[in-house]
Amino acid sequence: MHFDAVVIGAGFAGLYQLLCLRDRLGLKVQVIEAGGDLGGTWYWNRYPGARCDSESHAYRYFFSRELAAEWQASERYPGPAEIRAYLDHVARKFDLRRDIRFNTRVAAAHFDQAAGLWRIQTEAGGRCTAAFLITAVGCLSSANVPAIAGLADFRGKWYHTGQWPHEGVDFRGKRVGQIGTGSTGIQAAPVIAQSAAHLTVFQRTANYSVPARNAPLAPEFKRWAREHFEQIREIVQSTLNGHAFRIEQRNVADVTPAERQAIYEAAWEKGGLQFRATFKDLLTDRAANATAAEFLKARIRAVVKDPATAEALADIDHPYAAKRPPIDTDYFETFNRPNVTLVNLRQDPIECITAQGIRTKSSRHPLDIIVFATGFDALTGPLLKMDIRGRGGRSLREDWKGGPSTYLGLQVPGYPNLFTITGPGSPSVLTNMPVAIEQHVEWITECIGHLRKTGMATVEASDTAATAWGAQVDEAARATLLWDAKHSWYFGANVAGKPQVFMPYAGGLNKYRKICQGIAARGYEGFVLARA
Ligand code: NA7
C-alpha cells in the first residue's frame, strides 16, 4: 500500500499532523500507532498520581476556536484519562480514527533512493511505502529501566511508571519500593503511600518541588477561559515556553529581600510551574537562582519533621529548574507518614536487587513491589528504537552515535522527506508540549504544501545547516543554568552509554517560532529541495 505520508504515533502530534495533511492538503495519510488506542504518552502513562504539569487551559490544541469552546477539562491539571477523552473527542470531531492503525509498531523505515520513497515495515511484518515519513513518537515515551543487577531474581512484581498496567496495581498490604524522585516519582509517592503497607523511596538526586495546587476548575474560570481563547492563544504562542503565563520582566536584584520573599510566597501559594516565572533571571543568573533555591529548600525543612530526612530531601545539588522542575501534591508531607521511609542513595547506594527486595550498601529492604520512576530515554530513544535508514542505507543509529544532529529538530541530513515532530534540537520538552507540537505540525504541513505546489519531490536538511543549528542549540543551553546540571536527562545523562549532548533548544519557543518562519520565508534556507 502506498501513502503520500505515513505518520508514526497517535498522540497530540500524530492526530494533528493527520488532520493537517489529510484535510488541509488532501493527502492520503496513514497513522501507525503501537498502542491500542489514542493518547501517545498518555496511553502508557497511567501510574498513580499521574497528571500533566501544564495547566489544562493551555494543555490543548489552539488551532480551532470551535474545538476549544466544545471541550474544557474539569481540573486545573488534566489527568491521563481526561487527556485521552479529549483526544478521543478531537478524533471523533475530525473523523481521524479511520486513518489510524493501532496495535502496530513500526520496526524499520528505509529510504529507497531509486524510487524516492520510504519503505516502512512493522514488527508484525506489514509493509507500506510513503513519500513523506513523519515521526510523532513523543519525547518521553521510551521507558528507562536501569540495569540494576539482580532484577531478574526479584520474586515480587515490578513496574515502570511509563508502562503502567491498564488495570492498575493494588498496593494494599504491600511493601513498595520506589526508585526515582523526578516529576513522576514526586507525583506517585504520595498516592502509593496512601494504600501501601509501607513505601520506601530510593532517592539518588534530591529535587525541588512546588505545590501544584490542583483543584476542580471553578465555573467562573471556565467561562473566563472560554471568553479569552484568543488572548490565551496569544500568550502561549508568544512566551518562551508555551505556557499560559508570562515571565515577569524584573530581575531578582530589582526588588528588596522582603519583596522577593513576598513574591516567592505568593507564587508558592498559587502553585505550579509559574514559580519559575517570578523573575526573568532565575534561569540565567546563579545568584538570582540561589534565592529561589534557598526559599524552596527552607520549605522542605519546614514541612518534613524528621531532621535527617529533611536534610536528605533538601540537599539539592543543582540550581532550581536546571533539571525539569516537578510540581506536587503533598510530596514532602508524605515523608511525615509513619509508613514512608527515605533512603538516600548518595550515602547508601543500591548494590543489587535480590529475590526479596533491594539491597543497599548498608541494609536490606524487603519488598513486594518495585516501582521504577526512573524516567525515559528522552528525545532520541523513541526514534532510535526503530531501524531508520536514509540515503545509501546510512543508519540513524550510526549517525547519532555521538549524539543527535538535526536541523531545527525537524529534519536530519541524509534522510530526505523525514520530519521529526518535536525532535532533538527543538524546544520540545522545555515547553508546554501541545503548543510546540502545533508549531511543528503547521510548519511541516506548509513545507509539504510548498513542495507540492512547486513540483518538488524531496526536502532534506543540509549538513552545513544541521551543524550550524547544533552550535546554536549548544549556545542557547550554555546561556542558561540548564548547562550546569550535567546529570540531567536533557543531556541524556540518565541512560547508561548515551552520548552526553544537550538535546532540546533552550532559546525559547517564541524565538524558535520566528527562526522557523524566517527560514520558510527565505525559500527553506538550509534545506535542499529537489525534483524527482
Ligand atoms: P526523570 O526526571 O528522568 O526522573 C527519574 C528519576 O529516577 C530521577 O530521580 C533519577 O535520579 C532516578 N533514577 C534513574 N535511574 C536511577 C538509578 N539507576 N538508581 C537510582 N535512581 C535512578 O523522569 P520522570 O519520569 O520523573 O520525569 C520525566 C518527565 O516526564 C518529566 O520531566 C515531565 O516532563 C514528564 P537522578 O536524578 O538521575 O539522579
3-class DSSP string for 54-101: CCCCCCCCCCCHHHHHHCCCCECCCCHHHHHHHHHHHHHHCCCHHHEE
What does the alpha-carbon distance between residue 341 and residue 336 come to, in Å, rounded to a whole number?
Answer: 9
Question: Which set of grid coordinates corresponds to residue 10?
Answer: 497517535
Q: pTM here? A: 0.97
pLDDT tens column, 427-451: 999 999 999 999 999 999 999 999 9
How far apart, in whole angstroms, are the C-alpha atoms of residue 525 and residue 7?
Answer: 25
Low-confidence ranges of the chain (pLDDT < 50): none
CA–CA gap between residue 47 and residue 166 (Å, rounded): 9
- The second-level CATH assignment, the architecture, of 2-142+377-530 is 3-Layer(bba) Sandwich (3.50)
139 lines ligand 1 (CB under 6 A): no
Q: Where in the chain is the domain with CATH 3.50.50.60?
A: 2-142+377-530
Query: Of all protein residues, whose CA lies closest to atom 6 belonging to ligand 1?
Result: 180
> Of the residues 41, 139, 159, 184, which should be mutated to test ligand 1's pocket, given the most ligand atoms within 8 Å of the CB?
184
* 417: alpha, beta or left? (left if phi > 0; alpha if psi -120 to 50): left
373 lines ligand 1 (CB under 6 A): yes
User: In this predicted model, what pLDDT tens digit does every residue of 216-243 receive, in sequence order?
Assistant: 999 999 999 999 999 999 999 999 999 9
Q: Whose CA is nearest to atom 20 of ligand 1?
A: 204
User: What does the pLDDT read at residue 449?
Assistant: 98
Mutation test residue for ligand 1: of 52, 181, 186, 204, the one with most atoms within 8 Å of CB: 204
Residue of 181, 210, 342, 374 best suited for mutating to test ligand 1, as the one with most atoms within 8 Å of CB? 374
- pLDDT of 386 reads 98
CA 460 to chain centroid: 26
